[in-house]
């Protein structure tokens, strides 16, 4: 297989682009580095396309490896033919290769293998010959195979054994399987039946059916989970007799042959006993893989928008971890993420001490000039929200302004109980660490959420049902892209944040932290080379994504790669600027000047590509900039509503919390997220909600319906 040609066709790219990108990947370059600093080589492919290319490249290479293994295995059996060689060469998916190998694979003991051991293969061949007449008859021929020692006592047993051999050979035919798989997928019906009488979340599937080729991904995942939890029994039933009819048409070549009755029996046995169950499993695996990839893609999109949410800068934040029996834990965190104070209050039952709790919260807000209270949305969060809203109203009457926001605490407990959490706050208990995490994820979502396993962040759909390795690979890629897009301050970043930088693994990230602890803050990017396990290649990959705000060299606080420093300085000199001008932010006109001069001409003179030149100018305009600054800020609240306060027709503002296949969940400030079904998002046709909505978006919605007992809120964007 020409892998480059295949990638070119699938990804709609130029062959030269693919060849050069594959060469970069094979040379050990990371995706973030290639996307940011090798645009001229790749034709400015972004990280999403590059990851798709790398993933597909790995799949096709593993496919070729398996193709070669199968080829050698058949060759070793001296059964290779030009037809098999051609079929292997043309196979485009793993299933097709395995179908070809199926007849030659070492099998466990089967009815057919037993029949072969008993010497019945000649009888099977005679039946398959489908002669017009047999002399002697097939029945007489079968008698000659009776052998007490081989456990063949009658002619009927001999014929049944021969039919077992024929059934297996039919089942092993790659072309038959391919066509039956196609017909079953095209016409098959997926049916589900409830296995229990009591109500459950799977009740709609207790007697349900849908065309296999039309069932949406979220329904596949729901049905699979229901089956796994033993609420459902699932099957795929062909519509009509097309698969069996196809097999009969391929196998029966002579309607008048005495062999026909035996062949009919063998074909039906082959289909019902061997082919149909196997094809059903393959199709269900195919459906799950498709749904899983869709869910992973959706999770990845949600995670990216969550991680890239605008940080809440310049605020001292009170992190508030709600609870009942053990109280609510508070942590005061300054704008740099430093923990200033902690406390425990009891505004909830069973130890309800509201006056004392209010006094403590007011004291802390006044003492540390807290601007925002970040409340975790878990257990006791409703009571906590009411308590904080009431407390802030009393402070407002005193002329003190403070707002609150509900923050998803998904994964906070995972971080709190983790080794990293214990290393960071060895003197805190797990709930105190949770309060700190809740505050910090509001101040800088990216820096805090990278400490948590992405699967635990909770912006996906059935993510815990996915293939773990594939999910980890995809989500790790998303986090890497986000961290590298923003860049990190090498002197303040945790090792968990540093470990996502291109070229840096966990061990080298810990070495960076250890080096700065022992030698003081880094003063230049070049100094990073002194860190153990940061060699020339690792430095090349990571340097452009690490920032040193205090560095003497201003370019060390930009996304300009050290390899391009001479070019950047030549650019400054070209238009009469100095490095001090960069530091003072005086390059507001450099882009206009460069465009007036001619970007292509300028790029040629500086011996650099236009994409790199464009990126360089952007970095010189705003050194140390955070690309998240222009994104929507978190919605802060001062008042509170309950679900019982909602009425149809109310128009509210909310924040998108999760986008799934059939809609989006929106926080409208009533503790219970409302659902905007995909049909209520726009008057135009869309395939998926992610086409118009993303996690973190602030949207105006109208209440369609409210079901207080079931805590369900229907919303629409069709105002």
Residues 349 and 483 sit within 8 Å (Cβ to Cβ): no
Smallest Cα–Cα separation from 101: which of 60, 68, 57, 125?
68
Q: Percent of the chain at pLDDT above 90?
A: 86
Q: Assign 687 a pLDDT band (cuts: 50, 70, 90).
A: very high
Q: How many CB atoms lie within 10 A of CB 432?
A: 22
Neighbouring residues of 23: CB distance < 8 A, sequence distance ≥ 6? none
Of 334-343, 513-522, 530-539, 622-631, the poorest mean pLDDT is in 622-631
Q: Please give the C-alpha separations between residue 458 and each of 306, 439, 557, in angstroms, as whole numbers.
A: 10, 18, 33
Average of pLDDT values for 146-160? Answer: 94
> CA gyration radius for the chain?
33
Q: Does 317-514 match 515-621 in CATH topology?
A: no
Residue 463 predicted with pLDDT over 80: no
Neighbouring residues of 284: CB distance < 8 A, sequence distance ≥ 6? 234, 236
Rounded to 5°, the CA angle 152-156-157 comes to: 30
Neighbouring residues of 589: CB distance < 8 A, sequence distance ≥ 6? none
317-321 vs 189-194, strand pairing mode: unpaired
- Model confidence pLDDT, tens digit, residues 492-527: 999 999 999 999 999 999 999 999 999 999 999 999
Residues 673 and 666 sit within 8 Å (Cβ to Cβ): yes
Q: What is the mean pLDDT of the chain?
A: 94
Fold of 643-716: OB fold (Dihydrolipoamide Acetyltransferase, E2P) (2.40.50)
Residues 140 and 240 sit within 8 Å (Cβ to Cβ): no
Residue 649 predicted with pLDDT over 80: yes
pLDDT at site 342: 96
Q: Please give the C-alpha separations between residue 572 and each of 555, 566, 584, 646, 682, in angstroms, as whole numbers.
A: 12, 10, 14, 59, 48
What are the structure tokens assigned to 380, written together? 């006791």
CATH number among 3.10.150.10, 1.10.220.70, 1.10.10.650, 1.10.10.10, domain 3-104: 1.10.10.650
**Rama region for 240: left / alpha / beta (φ>0; ψ in -120 to 50; rest):** left
Domain range annotation of the chain:
3-104, 317-514, 515-621, 643-716
Average of pLDDT values for 8-29? Answer: 97
> Which comes out higher in pLDDT, residue 625 or 534?
534
Architecture of domain 515-621: Orthogonal Bundle (1.10)
pLDDT at site 112: 96
Q: Assign 638 a pLDDT band (cuts: 50, 70, 90).
A: confident
> How far, in Å, CA of 459 to CA of 469, rounded?
18
Of 137-141, 392-396, 457-461, the poorest mean pLDDT is in 457-461
DSSP tag of 710:
T
pLDDT at site 708: 93
Residue 251 predicted with pLDDT over 80: yes
First to last CA, the chain: 53
Domain 317-514: top CATH class: alpha beta
- Model confidence pLDDT, tens digit, residues 318-332: 999 999 999 999 999
pLDDT at site 12: 96
> How far, in Å, CA of 486 to CA of 470, rounded?
25
Of the CA atoms within 13 Å of residue 493, those in its CB half-sphere come to: 29
Q: Is 94 helix (H, G, I), strand (E, B) or coil?
A: helix
Average of pLDDT values for 669-696? Answer: 93
pLDDT at site 518: 96
Rounded to 5°, the CA angle 369-374-379 comes to: 140
- Model confidence pLDDT, tens digit, residues 272-324: 999 999 999 999 999 999 999 999 999 999 999 999 999 999 999 999 999 99
> How far, in Å, CA of 455 to CA of 466, rounded?
10
Average of pLDDT values for 414-442? Answer: 91
Q: Assign 466 a pLDDT band (cuts: 50, 70, 90).
A: confident
Residue 334 predicted with pLDDT over 80: yes
């Amino acid at each position: 297989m020409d892998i480059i040609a295949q990638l070119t066709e699938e990804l709609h790219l130029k062959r030269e682009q693919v060849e050069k990108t594959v060469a970069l990947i094979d040379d050990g370059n990371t995706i973030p580095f290639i996307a940011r600093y090798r645009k001229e080589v790749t034709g400015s492919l972004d990280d999403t396309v590059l990851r798709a290319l790398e993933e597909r490249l790995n799949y096709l290479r593993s496919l070729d490896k398996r193709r070669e293994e199968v080829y050698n295995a058949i060759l070793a059996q001296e059964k290779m033919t030009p037809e098999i060689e051609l079929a292997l060469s043309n196979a485009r998916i793993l299933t097709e290769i395995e179908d070809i190998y199926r007849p030659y694979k070492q099998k466990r003991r089967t009815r057919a293998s037993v029949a072969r051991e008993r010497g019945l293969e000649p009888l099977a061949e005679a039946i398959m010959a489908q002669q017009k007449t047999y002399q002697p008859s097939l029945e007489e021929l079968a008698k000659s195979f009776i052998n007490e020692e081989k456990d063949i006592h009658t002619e009927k047993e001999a014929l049944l054994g021969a039919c077992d051999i024929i059934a297996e050979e039919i089942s092993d035919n790659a072309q038959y399987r391919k066509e039956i798989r196609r017909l079953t997928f095209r016409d098959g019906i997926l049916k589900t039946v409830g296995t229990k009488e009591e109500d459950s979340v799977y009740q709609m599937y207790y007697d349900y059916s849908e065309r296999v080729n039309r069932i949406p991904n979220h329904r596949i995942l729901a049905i699979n989970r229901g089956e796994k939890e033993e609420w459902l029994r699932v099957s795929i039933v062909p519509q009509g007799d097309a698969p069996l009819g196809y097999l009969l048409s391929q196998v029966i070549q002579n309607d008048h042959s005495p062999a026909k009755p035996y062949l009919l029996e063998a074909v039906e046995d082959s289909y019902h006993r061997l082919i149909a169950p196997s094809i059903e499993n393959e199709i269900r695996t195919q459906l799950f893989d498709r749904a899983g990839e869709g869910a992973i893609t959706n999770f990845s999109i949600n995670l990216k928008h969550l991680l890239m949410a605008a940080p809440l800068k310049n605020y001292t934040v009170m992190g508030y971890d709600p609870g009942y029996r053990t109280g609510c834990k508070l942590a005061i965190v300054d704008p740099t993420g430093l923990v200033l104070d902690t406390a425990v209050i009891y505004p909830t039952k069973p130890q309800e001490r509201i006056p004392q709790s209010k006094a403590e919260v007011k004291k802390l807000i006044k003492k540390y000039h807290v601007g925002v209270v970040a409340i975790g949305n878990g257990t006791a969060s409703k009571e906590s929200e009411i308590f904080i809203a009431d407390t802030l109203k009393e402070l407002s009457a005193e002329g003190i302004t403070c707002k609150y926001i509900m923050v998803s605490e998904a994964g906070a407990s995972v971080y709190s109980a983790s080794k990293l959490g214990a290393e960071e706050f060895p003197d805190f208990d797990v709930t105190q660490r949770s309060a700190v995490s809740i505050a910090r994820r509001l101040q800088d979502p990216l820096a805090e959420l990278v400490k948590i396993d992405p699967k635990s962040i909770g912006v996906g759909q059935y993510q815990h049902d996915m293939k773990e390795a594939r999910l980890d690979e995809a989500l790790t890629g998303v986090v890497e892209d986000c961290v590298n897009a923003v860049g990190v301050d090498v002197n303040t970043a945790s090792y968990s944040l540093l470990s996502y930088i291109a070229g840096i693994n966990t061990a080298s990230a810990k070495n960076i932290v250890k080096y700065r602890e022992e030698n003081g803050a880094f003063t230049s990017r070049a100094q990073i080379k002194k860190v153990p396990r940061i060699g020339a290649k690792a430095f090349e990959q990571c340097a452009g994504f690490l920032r040193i705000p205090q560095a003497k060299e201003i370019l060390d606080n930009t996304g300009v790669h050290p390899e391009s420093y001479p070019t950047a300085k030549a650019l400054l000199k070209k238009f009469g600027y100095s490095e001090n001008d960069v530091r003072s932010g005086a390059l507001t006109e450099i882009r206009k000047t460069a465009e007036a001069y001619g970007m292509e001409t300028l790029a040629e003179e500086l011996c650099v590509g236009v994409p790199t030149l464009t990126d360089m100018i952007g970095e010189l305009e705003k050194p140390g900039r955070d690309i998240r600054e222009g994104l929507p800020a978190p919605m802060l609240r001062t008042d509170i509503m309950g679900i019982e306060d909602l009425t149809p027709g109310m128009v509210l503002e909310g924040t998108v919390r999760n986008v799934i296949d059939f809609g989006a969940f929106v926080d409208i400030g009533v503790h219970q997220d409302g659902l905007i079904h995909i049909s209520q998002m726009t008057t135009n046709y869309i395939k998926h909600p992610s086409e118009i909505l993303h996690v973190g978006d602030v949207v105006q919605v109208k209440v369609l319906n409210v079901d207080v007992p079931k805590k369900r809120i229907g919303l629409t964007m069709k105002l």
